[in-house]
Structure 1
Amino acid sequence: MSERVMPGHTDGLITLGTADALWVDLTADSAVPTAPGAFTRSPARAGAGYVLLGGHVVTTVKVSGDQWRVPEAEVRRAAAELNAVGTDRGDLVRIGPFREASRQERDEEEPLRWRRRIRGELHESGGPERAARRWDGRPHHLAGIDWRQMLVEQTRDGTQRTWWLPRAVVRLLDAAEHAETHWVHAARTRRAGPAATEPSSRPGRSLEADGPTAAPRPYGKELEGQLYSVLSRKPDTSRRVAGWACAVCRAAPATVLDHCHEHGYVRAPVCQSCNTLERPDHLYSNDIRVANRYTRLFRTDTDDWLRHWHRCPGCRARNTLPLPHLAAWTAHTACRSLRPTHRASGGRRPCGVLRVSWTGSQNTPRSCLLTVTVDFCPSGEHRVLAQVPYREAAERFRAWLAETAPAVAAAAGPDRVDDLPAQIRPVIADTGGKDLELF
């Protein structure tokens, strides 16, 4: 990382153009690609008193007329934080398109809202390739990150295009959005106070300097046992959710309120990245493709995810998982030994892609049957690995839970349904729709 002194600085302040060059220079070797114009091209908002770099807020200072400058030390600090971020380009999060995606023109003076900006850019340009070729003043960076270099387009069923970004980039942009919200709130509070000062008059002020309200607080059990159908109607719910850190990763700010669709109970506030990781990958209303991310759910970070799912009193009392998650667990874990392998360079590899479907539902366990199959076999074969009745799958899960996460199993207790909601909310089948964030 370069440490040379940049020209055009006075008392630690540098011009916006110099800051642009410094940001690109310092992050040249970062795993997350950055873009020129982080301070001077939209959606940078130097005139509002700040600019976002990754998940960091860098304040701007008005020195004379319309001349704005930034603290060089803050640019270097933001670059060092970004350079420390690792990226797995195979660990992707879907960012669109969804049914509710807005096609309307963006107001460049609005806050980051990076998902809407990306979807709007892709809709208007006709896709990632044309978006990458455009140069008409539209935003080509978000918080200094060149999202176009990381965007992945996939096609489902040969027709529907979907857009994806690496999970590390999603978390960075979520953190930027969260930091901006708190910075603006703190600036308004200072203006309204008796000793209010403009945020741009205090060089070097960062998110941490805004006091305890700037950082999301850890989630306890504040929402335990509450029904989502009741809590979601309260006007202050979104504000409360934004004040917590994600209850799963405990690092990113929470953005959505995850809840159990079978019992209707709130689980916990989570970040968009963890919420996407947790959501079953539905192909159809009763069909799940078991992607590689299930390795993290049922092997790498097992305890964290099992504790999260069992925050629902219904799942905890029954000592099981909602049907889509139980189906994915059955295919990924209980039927792992049944999956055939094929010769490949460096040894043998599992055959094709796992898929699990079911008939019936958890409300009719006698007739509910899970079918685990293999798609896209290299030899052209599509074979059924197993057919597992729901009750057998649930018993297998309970035995595995007791062995794998005994503390979680012990907390589950006996199967009592006295206090469960009488009206069970059905699982939402179409995860491409507006209720995507609720899994």
Structure 2
Amino acid sequence: MTEIQYRLPQKREIVTDFPGPKSQKLAGRRSSVIAAGVVSSVPVYAADVDGGVVVDVDGNSLIDFGSGIAVTTVGGSAPKVVENVQQAVERFTHTCFMVTPYEGYVELAERLAEITPGDHAKKVALFNSGAEAVENAVKIARVATGRDAIVVFDHAYHGRTNVTMAMTAKNMPYKNGFGPFAPEIYRVPVSYPFRDPQGMDGTEAAQRALEMVDKQVGAENVAAVVIEPILGEGGFIVPADGFLPTLADWCQSNGALFVADEVQSGVARTGEWFAVDHDGVVPDLMTMAKGVAGGMPLSAVVGRAELLDAVHGGGLGGTYGGNPVACAAAIGALDTIEDWDLKSRAKHIEAVIHASLDSLVESTDVVGEIRGRGAMIALEFVKPGGKQPHPELAKAVATECLQQGLIILTCGTYGNIVRLLPPLTITDDLLCEGLEVFSDAIVKHEQSH
């Protein structure tokens, strides 16, 4: 493992009122030109990002437990990513792969085919965003199977396009008022161990879902079952052991495709290249984005060669899909993960988080569960004495953390989840300091909410 390199001091430091005057001035400019529907969870404006810190325009240095929603897995300015981008930009910024192709797209496709599960022949198509990748996976599945129905799950999040909004479970803020949505999307219960009936294992939870599919959709009509191996925006839900393999087996037996949406959970975030690796499942198709390109907009569908080749010529693509600069960034990000052994680093971060928080979770009655894998960990806040969601406390804790210089994000269908998504390049000292800030915020607010 090569020693991780940093440009910026890896420290938490608040040097102005919060938010500072420059951030406040930018907020004023923003209000006159930026659509109200575009919101930000943090009121400061970034000027520099490196390792585990975000430095704002006023010079405040914040600990980053958000990674731009799991995007800056290798840090916000990893040297290899920066170097690759600079070299690519000097040559050309765009030709459109559908017009004049280039080697970077091919090389990245080769790398992605190599790291994804399974030893079968694979092919790759590159796009711009996670939602775009998921929507194209649906297109591929429908063409390859000759079927229409897409099965998705409670608490799922798949994107903001019309098809992916239909696939997403949560109404606000993702779907409200934006319908009508694409048809032939069917939702069934997911394995949610914290909220499932006591004693229900993963296989039983899968059978519960699949019985609904058989009765309400018909197995012969299902093109694909699409699931996040760890549900992201829905609350970092880790399905019980046996759930994903049972779904995959059902798909194989019934001629449907098993599609793993690894947009948030993929590319070393959980301690393996992909979250499905923990369950030993080999998807027919996979989608990825976020951490794959070190912050540049790029996504991919990777899957069995015969499935991607089932689509007619010209049926997949897009003007910017697989942009040469984004491909160069992605190759740099993959090199960084390997050079710095960031999969092992993710597992280490998980161990540090549990060592810091497990005793607190056990001693309080407002945290129902701590769960997740690698550097994708969440705490579910509940009202004392039961499992009723407690979104007010989650919001108060996140707000307190921000005031203390820690960027932290909430999520979940009920808004009661705080998720920990630090860059894999964060130092141990900074990680532990952030966890201390987080713990103190829980203790401070658990009695007042």
- TM-score normalized by the length of structure 2: 0.23
Higher relative contact order (CA 8 A, sep 6+): 2
- TM-score normalized by the length of structure 1: 0.24
